[in-house]
Structure 1
Amino acid sequence: MGYRWLAWALVAVHFGYLAYLLLGGFVALRWRWTLPVHLAAAGWAVAVVAGHLPCPLTAAQDAARHAAGLPPLTGGFLDSYVRGVFYPRGAGTLAQLVLGSAVLASWALVVLRWRRPWRECWSGRRS
């Protein structure tokens, strides 16, 4: 029973990672110290997707599922929990482009925010 819970906890960690990947740059607008963490998370995502690297969270989840007597995920985390739920099955590339655009937009806002004082940047006043 404990391994089954661990497998589900790893699903939650996976979703947390994806949420942070999408929103972490916006979090860095408020807390600068989070930007290096977000850069690492985004770099890892690019490495996994572009380099076809195995995801350690998926490997850990498969190990927990095996220990619980459950079959491994077919196709990994994205195929099992994300594709077809958050976006249509045939739209993986589009989903990656939207996610990447959101991340880049958040980083652009971070750069704008750090280059100009807060009140000047967000109040609409020009210098």
Structure 2
Amino acid sequence: MSDQAGLSDQYRMASPWPLFVALGIPIAELGILFGVFVVAVGGLLLFCGSVTGMLREADYVETVWRPLLVFAVFLFAIGSVLAFTEVSLVARGYAIITTGAVLAAAGIGGELFVPKREPV
């Protein structure tokens, strides 16, 4: 009798993405909370990229480029609200908008320049 019933060697046992999601959230929150631009952008990039990787690994999406664009639009909206409505949150809003711009550039660049996979 096996102590791992039903598991096959062809499937991976664990995914690396949850660790990076769990790291990206507090890093982004600390950067946004304390107004540290680079930390906020890095944490948001880590979080959004990890969630996108998780979606791709679970086969919910065909490529990672379109979910990155969805995250970019979402971050543009949140960053714009913070930057243009409340005076004390302008730097934090710009950090979120910058992250959205980086994700949009990655999504558009990936969609345009990365060749599509052939179905197996």
Give the alignment's TM-score, normalised by structure 1. Answer: 0.33
Higher relative contact order (Cα pairs below 8 Å, separated by 6+ residues)? 1
Higher helix share: 1
